[in-house]
Amino acid sequence: MSKRFYITTAIDYVNGQPHIGHAYEKIISDVIARSRRSLGQEVFFLTGLDEHGQKVQQAAQAEKKSPQEYCDALAADWQAFAKKLELTNDDFIRTTQPRHKAFVQAALAKLHAAGHFYKAGYTGYYSAREETFLTEKDRRPDGTFDPAYGEVVELKEENYYFKLKAHQQWLIDYIEANPSFIAPDYRRNEVLGFLRSQTLEDLCISRPVARLNWGIPLPFDPDFVTYVWFDALVNYISAAAAHGDPTVCAAIGVEPGPDQPPLSLWPADIHVIGKDIVKFHAVYWPIMLKAMGLPLPKQILAHGWWQKDGARISKSTGNVIDPVAVIHEWGLDAFRFYVLRELDLGPDGNWTDAGFKSRYSAELANGLGNLVNRSLSMLKRYRHGVVPARHDELAADAARAADETRALLKQNQLQSALQSIWGLVNRANQYVDQTAPFKLAKDPSQAKRLDEVLYNLAEACRILAVLLQPFIPGTAARIYAQLGLGGSPSTLDAAAWGGLTPGQTIGEPAPLFPRRDD
Ligand code: MSP
């Protein structure tokens, strides 16, 4: 059983509709998953929903639904959204699924039996309205709490705590010894800075049922449910166990799921997450895994956050981008392309409608779209769509783009890979202008030269389809269809020059990205 390349996304809170941030993370992960498949690796791509906790309980109450009813209705929307983005996820986990709940309880029981938890009382200032404990930092300069918290009372609460301190030095040593564990580097440095300067507080892993009941009951104390983050992080391994992963099943002592043959997934190769949840993934999660006797994921890859017009995206101010509306108006691939091309994996990004339209027009309509459309239209017009004899004038340019793309995809450098691919788009468009096939077509003595140019252009289009497949798979399939090739490009090996067979007839050229005046 060979281990698959296992990539996960954060699981989204199911307390609203998906926005650009959720879409972005899932698209990056999908592109990495597709890239690995096109590099010939077997992949398992997991995404899903985080359905427990106070936020969900409150949102359900506001709609006068039971939390489960509320989650079921929204989960259908989120799953439809994953389809709309054409994600190639192999599973979709929901933390309210019995398979996940049973696994979390098995993991908790094991950790409890091994002495990793203790019960202790905590006295703090509690806001019933916000259902949260406040700290001294929440006080205003005059010492009072904001009236938005309502009545704040001093409350003593018992809970279970997970001992973290004992693992602090081990984690520092691990991160230092494994420089690629947290990427990009500046996130790794932030985590190390935090770990070196502050003593870890033990993590409260329970909530009293009296205060919050929408959660997974602790298997060893029915008066408590599991803290939502402890439950959520475990999704990465509960899903692996559900597919029969032997490492996880043996460590936790659970029966493998029904997959035949079972899949080998753990350790994950990449957890793709946003910058706001690095501490959960790079501090709590590694310690949880160590305590469970499991190896750590190979990489935590933290992306930046999108803003719109330079301001925080916020439902309350109406500063939002509705991905479904953008996809409806411009098409999925225009949306996928923009977020991948605009923002490198790491820093924050800024969505502007003008920026979106400008990339659409320059890079998609006038760049890629124009190249494919004029290349194939000329082949149709001048040669009845029949591919001429092979000629290698653009072969070196195509090989460079393919080699660069391959190397960049191995390092998850998605934006740079697109830049490299556009190097070929621009080169081929320039080649049309330089060779002027429309002029050659008027001169019968130039027939051979016209054949050469048309082959180079059609073959460059084919190679672009292969390279673009992980990023904009629908467009790649359309280019293939217009070239008269069946299906869609599957592996990067197909980017070798000369794949187009002379004598073959192409399909019907049609604009990939119609020009828009608005
Ligand atoms: N449920 C937790 C994650 C648990 S993972 C074990 C959560 N959910 S979330 O819905 O709030 O966020 C899901 C992901 O979306 C996070 O990785 C978060 O960083 C990302 N984003 C949320 N808003 C975003 C932007 N504006 N821009 C980019 N990504 C953003 O956290």
The secondary structure of the chain in percent helix, strand, coil, rounded to multiples of 5, reads: 50, 15, 35
- Which of 14, 25, 26, 77 is the pocket-test mutation for ligand 1 (most atoms within 8 Å of CB)? 25
Closest-CA residue to 341 (of 424, 420, 404, 427): 420
CB 343 within 8 A of CB 42: no
Instruction: Give the model confidence (pLDDT) of 213-252 as tens digits.
Output: 999 999 999 999 999 999 999 999 999 999 999 999 999 9
Q: What integer best gives the mean pLDDT of the chain?
A: 96
pLDDT of 518 reads 62
Nearest atom (ligand 1) to Cα of 307: 26
384 burial (CB, 10 Å; 0-12 / 13-18 / 19+) is exposed
pLDDT category at 456 given cuts 50, 70, 90 is very high
Q: Is the CB of 78 under 6 A from ligand 1?
A: no
Instruction: Give the model confidence (pLDDT) of 291-303 as tens digits.
Output: 999 999 999 999 9
Q: Is the CB of 508 under 6 A from ligand 1?
A: no
Nearest atom (ligand 1) to Cα of 25: 29
pLDDT of 486 reads 87
User: Is residue 271 predicted with pLDDT exceeding 90?
Assistant: yes
3-state secondary structure 40-57: CCCEEEEEEEECCCHHHH
Counted residue by residue, the chain has a size of: 518
- Which of 228, 273, 300, 343 is the pocket-test mutation for ligand 1 (most atoms within 8 Å of CB)? 273
pLDDT of 101 reads 98
pLDDT of 508 reads 97
Nearest atom (ligand 1) to Cα of 276: 19
- Which of 96, 305, 307, 339 is the pocket-test mutation for ligand 1 (most atoms within 8 Å of CB)? 305
Q: Is the CB of 145 under 6 A from ligand 1?
A: no
Nearest CA to ligand 1 atom 10: 12
User: Is residue 1 predicted with pLDDT exceeding 80?
Assistant: no
pLDDT category at 315 given cuts 50, 70, 90 is confident
Q: 8: CA distance to ligand 1 center in Å?
A: 13
Nearest CA to ligand 1 atom 17: 274
**In what order do the strands lie in the sheet containing 349-351?**
311-312, 306-308, 349-351
Q: Is the CB of 397 under 6 A from ligand 1?
A: no
Instruction: Give the model confidence (pLDDT) of 92-123 as tens digits.
Output: 999 999 999 999 999 999 999 999 999 999 88
Whole-number percent of the chain with pLDDT over 90:
89
Q: Is the CB of 452 under 6 A from ligand 1?
A: no
- Which of 8, 9, 12, 348 is the pocket-test mutation for ligand 1 (most atoms within 8 Å of CB)? 12
d(CA 461, CA 38): 18
pTM: 0.96
Q: Is the CB of 22 under 6 A from ligand 1?
A: yes
